[in-house]
């Protein structure tokens, strides 16, 4: 088999994305207003409450990376004075803007009517929106979202963010859209979010089976797409995750491994937990380095960047503003390092992993800070070997296929040697 199976959920997601980008391209003609925001802590249900369309710049950057376009965009941004050390998502976005703001599907993206920053744990987001504000001269709403320094969200923290949503953000969205806030409509959207979140958790935790029916890193980035971006709270999202869950159940019953671009993984040799984002410019080549060795990622911190649903969080329709506040504070990169280590250790044990592999991304400080310490601590706690590779998000200059392949092969050999000694 030379291509991945196109199941019903994949086809549904493809249609959802096509309709979404069509709506964005048509927004100037239809009069729909547009809100630029980010994946961590995004307030999709609230944006939809006012009939507004979200645009997620880092999603555009990664999709352009998968299409091989970001190298030129990054070069253009650097010619305009942006440093090589700046987050490559930012430079890819700025380069795309300078080239006419044509989105990943080849259709134009509308200018923002509002810049909404609802998670401030990544300092780059602040600077990114400063740049976009200069380009577009549009209003900005920035919520101050506390960091989980002590590893918990306190009632005072929750109230602090919820009050900002009520007193600062909602009036701005009412002004932009010409609509009044509809709390009942928001509650219904949050019910749909929680239903989709239940099914997503089921899919991700299916990797506890042997063999795992999914790859929770490379395959996982497709599974989290609808819920982390523009579709959470929609009926489309509910139906997508329901279909995906049914398909995963079929794979579990048949004891099938994950589907890859080259077909199924027939023999699961290594069960890996990963930390850090993947490389997007060589995504398929990177994935093949794993499945060609029989390595399956059974849990990933990257698929939690838009929500730690597998640790119990659900959007709560009974406390709409408070649950949105919790979501803003609950993404993975808002956890302190001890909390991240505890989470990864739990994944290592729950998924019976053979080791932890870190992909350290050159231009992403939110993930990369402290990763070597995380690696050593996990090795000490679990006795399982750790591996460390380096690449970048969407800058093709920082993906060395030969170097990464050699490191991965050595790492898998180390796992094998540990097994034999055991």
Edge-to-edge, what's the strand order for the sheet holding 295-300? 295-300, 270-275, 355-361, 386-391
Cα separation, 258 vs 268, whole angstroms:
9
Check residue 84 and give its pLDDT: 85
Check residue 255 and give its pLDDT: 97
**411 class by beta-carbon count within 10 Å (0-12 exposed, 13-18 middle, 19+ buried):** buried
Q: What is the pLDDT of residues 21-69, one digit of tens each?
A: 999 999 999 999 999 999 999 999 999 999 999 999 999 999 999 999 9
Nearest to 363 by CA among 334, 396, 385, 386: 396
Check residue 4 and give its pLDDT: 46
Check residue 362 and give its pLDDT: 83
Check residue 16 and give its pLDDT: 96
Confidence of residue 6 (pLDDT cuts 50, 70, 90): low
Check residue 218 and give its pLDDT: 98
Over pLDDT 70: what percentage of the chain? 98
Helix (H, G, I), strand (E, B) or coil at 274: strand
Q: What is the pLDDT of residues 69-86, one digit of tens each?
A: 999 999 999 998 998 888
Q: What is the pLDDT of residues 209-256, one digit of tens each?
A: 999 999 999 999 999 999 999 999 999 999 999 999 999 999 999 999
Q: Would you say 247 and 268 are in contact if contact means Cβ atoms under 8 Å apart?
A: no
- Say if residue 188's pLDDT is above 90: yes
Cα separation, 28 vs 14, whole angstroms:
23
**419 class by beta-carbon count within 10 Å (0-12 exposed, 13-18 middle, 19+ buried):** exposed
- For residue 184, the number of C-alpha atoms closer than 13 Å in the C-beta half-sphere is 0
Averaged pLDDT of the chain: 95
Rounded to 10 degrees, the C-alpha dihedral 204/395/11/272 comes to -20
pTM value surpassing 0.85 = yes
Q: What is the pLDDT of residues 361-407, one digit of tens each?
A: 988 888 888 999 999 999 999 999 999 999 999 999 999 999 999 99
Cα separation, 130 vs 112, whole angstroms:
13
Confidence of residue 190 (pLDDT cuts 50, 70, 90): very high
Determine which of 104-108, 179-183, 337-341, 368-372 has the lowest per-residue pLDDT on average.
368-372
Domains and CATH numbers, the chain: 8-182 (3.40.50.11890), 185-421 (3.40.50.11900)
Q: What is the pLDDT of residues 270-313, one digit of tens each?
A: 999 999 999 999 999 999 999 999 999 999 999 999 999 999 99
Check residue 123 and give its pLDDT: 82
Over pLDDT 90: what percentage of the chain? 91
Q: Would you say 340 and 332 are in contact if contact means Cβ atoms under 8 Å apart?
A: yes
Confidence of residue 2 (pLDDT cuts 50, 70, 90): very low
- Say if residue 121's pLDDT is above 80: no
Check residue 369 and give its pLDDT: 85
Check residue 119 and give its pLDDT: 85
């Amino acid at each position: 088999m030379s291509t991945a199976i196109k199941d019903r959920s994949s086809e549904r997601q493809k249609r959802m994305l096509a309709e979404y980008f069509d709506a964005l391209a048509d927004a100037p003609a239809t009069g729909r207003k547009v809100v630029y925001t980010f994946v961590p802590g995004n307030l999709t249900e609230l944006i939809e409450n006012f009939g507004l369309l979200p645009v997620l710049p880092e999603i555009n950057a990664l999709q352009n990376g998968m299409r091989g376009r970001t190298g030129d965009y990054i070069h253009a941004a650097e010619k305009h004075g942006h440093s090589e050390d700046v987050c490559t998502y930012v430079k890819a976005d700025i380069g795309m803007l300078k080239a006419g703001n044509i989105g990943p599907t080849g259709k134009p993206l509308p200018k923002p009517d509002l810049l909404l920053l609802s998670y401030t744990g990544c300092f780059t987001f602040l600077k990114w929106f400063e740049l976009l504000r200069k380009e577009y001269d549009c209003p900005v709403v920035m919520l101050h979202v506390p960091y989980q320094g002590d590893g918990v969200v306190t009632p005072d923290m929750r109230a602090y963010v919820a009050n900002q949503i009520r007193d600062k953000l909602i009036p701005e969205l009412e002004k932009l859209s010409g609509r009044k806030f509809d709390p009942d409509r928001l509650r219904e959207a949050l019910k749909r979010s929680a239903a989709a979140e239940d099914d997503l958790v089921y899919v991700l935790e299916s990797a506890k089976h042997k063999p795992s029916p999914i790859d929770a890193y490379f395959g996982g980035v497709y599974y989290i797409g609808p819920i982390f971006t523009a579709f959470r709270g929609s009926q489309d999202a509910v139906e997508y995750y329901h279909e995906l869950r049914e398909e995963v159940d079929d794979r579990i019953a048949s004891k099938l491994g994950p589907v890859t671009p080259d077909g199924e993984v027939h023999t699961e040799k290594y069960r890996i937990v990963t930390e850090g984002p993947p490389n997007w410019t060589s995504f398929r080549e990177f994935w093949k380095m794993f499945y060609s060795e029989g390595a399956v990622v059974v849990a990933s911190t990257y698929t939690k960047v838009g929500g730690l649903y597998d640790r119990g969080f659900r959007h709560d329709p009974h406390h709409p503003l408070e649950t949105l506040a919790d979501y803003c504070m609950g993404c993975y990169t808002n956890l302190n390092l001890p909390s991240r280590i505890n989470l990864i250790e739990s994944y290592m044990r729950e998924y019976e992993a053979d080791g932890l592999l870190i992909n350290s991304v050159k231009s992403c400080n939110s993930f990369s800070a402290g990763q070597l310490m995380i690696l050593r601590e996990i090795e000490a706690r679990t006795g399982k070997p750790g591996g460390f590779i380096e690449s970048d998000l969407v800058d093709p200059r920082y993906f060395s296929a030969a170097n990464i392949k050699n490191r991965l092969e050595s790492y898998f050999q180390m796992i094998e040697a540990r097994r034999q000694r055991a």
